[in-house]
Amino acid sequence: MEMLQNLRASELVLDRTFNPAESPDVETLNKDYLVEACGLIPDFFADACLLLELDHGGASIDFFAKTGATPLDTIAETMNTIYGSGGFYDGFGGSIDEHGCYVSKYSEEEPMPPFAKFIYEHFCCYVYDCAITVLFDLRTRQTIVGRFD
């Protein structure tokens, strides 16, 4: 009898780390739960990164100079298109700290540790509880925050 393995594209093209901030709270969650909590967000991110590479290839510098969009803006817009309802559209707000924890725009909320960090080249995608998602460019330090619920 042949065994079929369910393999997602994001597992092939992204480096991934669960509990990258080494949070004791996230440490108590098992890997299957963290994978499930991240849902399709890593796949949206992987697809958007691959499409960026295919669409712009070596001409990316000219494209981005003409449009004013950054590569991270294009990844966010592509993720919005793939997802189809929300994501990065409405300016969710907030930022991340040096450990990758989400810092809400509301000062009374505690920083939220990421469930996972996904990396494609110099682009990072952090996924948090409640499907809060942060894109981060390691080169430019640009940050885009959204929610994929």
Digit-by-digit pLDDT tens for the chain (149 residues) are 666 677 788 999 999 999 999 999 999 999 999 999 999 999 999 999 999 888 765 444 455 555 678 999 999 999 999 998 878 876 788 999 999 999 999 989 999 999 999 999 999 999 999 999 999 999 999 999 999 98
pLDDT value at position 57? 57
What is the reported pLDDT for 66?
55
**CB-based burial of residue 106 (10 Å sphere; 0-12 exposed, 13-18 middle, 19+ buried)?**
exposed
Whether pTM exceeds 0.75: yes
Instruction: State residue 59's pLDDT score.
Output: 47
